[in-house]
Amino acid sequence: MTTRRRTRLALAAAALLLAASEAGAQVTELRVVRVREEGPFRDPAAAFWKEAPTTAVTLLPQAMTLPNNLKPAVQSLQVRGVHDGEWIAFLLEWPDTTKSDRIVVDQFGDKVAIEFPAEFKKDALPSPMMGNPGGRVEIWQWRAPFQQDLERGRPQVASDLYPNAHVDVYPDELLRAIDARPYMGAVGVDNLITRADKSPVLEQIAEGWGSLTIQPDDQQADGKGEWADGGWRVVMTHPLVGGETDVRFAPGGETAVAFAVWDGGSREAGPRKSWSTWAAVKLAE
């Protein structure tokens, strides 16, 4: 990388940090109201969402690390939160003119993520950019391709993507299952990011860039997304008190939250996303 490019990136990062500070100041508090309905909450069109106030969250370009995304497709989210004393849920809405729920070469799926500090310290929050060493964060990520797989009842296969293609034979048609696994890539080693496992939401943890890890034994987040009228409405829900490694919520308690969105139709994936700074979260008694 040339010195000129490093300078430009440094200046862009400094400008975004200033913008992030100003954007964060705009979101004072996301109020999570208590509702009479019992969770888990999975319906994006449920009537009880009208009881929760809408918070507008400003999203920022990702210019902190390569590959950058200086012109993200999604620039704001509308967020609501509810709980019933046992479950907490968030409804996220954003415009998207293309429904991207298939993954093929050079095409990506729509995704949205919610991030919380693993240990809430009001005056010592971790970095909203996936945490930092010693500042762990928990991330719930909903994926549109996972949603499609669950609705279809099976993962997509090559014949779904390329119906006119001809294949002579697949390894699992000739070999024992254990012998065919090496030919199946990440699926063959049960990598959770390759398929939906009962839920379209993945629970992950991180302590900085490049450290994102799936929680293998404690996947309790659930959710559902609906695309209509040029936009997504996505619910993510989780028990207030989950497993030992989960963030814990309590009626009357508070924490912080940040968000990220990937527009698959705009070829956003990995670091190519839009993101938010921390916003305060307050749960009603």
Q: Given this model, what pLDDT does residue 22 score? A: 43
User: Residues 109-136: pLDDT tens digits?
Assistant: 999 999 999 999 999 999 999 999 999 9
Average pLDDT over residues 10-36: 61
pLDDT higher than threshold 60 for residue 187 = yes
Instruction: Find tokens 């040029």 and name the residue.
Output: 230
User: How far apart, in Å, are the Cα atoms of 70 and each of 65, 106, 235, 273?
Assistant: 11, 19, 27, 9
Of residues 256 and 23, more confidence is placed in: 256
Helix (H) or strand (E) holding 170: none
Write out the two tokens for 6. 């490093």
Write down the pTM of the prediction.
Answer: 0.85
What values do phi and psi take at 258, rounded to 5? -135, 165
Q: Given this model, what pLDDT does residue 7 score? A: 45
Average pLDDT over residues 198-207: 93
User: Residues 38-71: pLDDT tens digits?
Assistant: 999 999 999 999 999 999 999 999 988 888 999 9
CATH T-level fold of 3-155+195-283: Immunoglobulin-like (2.60.40)
| DSSP three-state, residue 171 | helix
User: Residues 9-19: pLDDT tens digits?
Assistant: 444 444 454 44
Count each helix (H run) and each strand (E run) in the chain, helices first: 6, 14
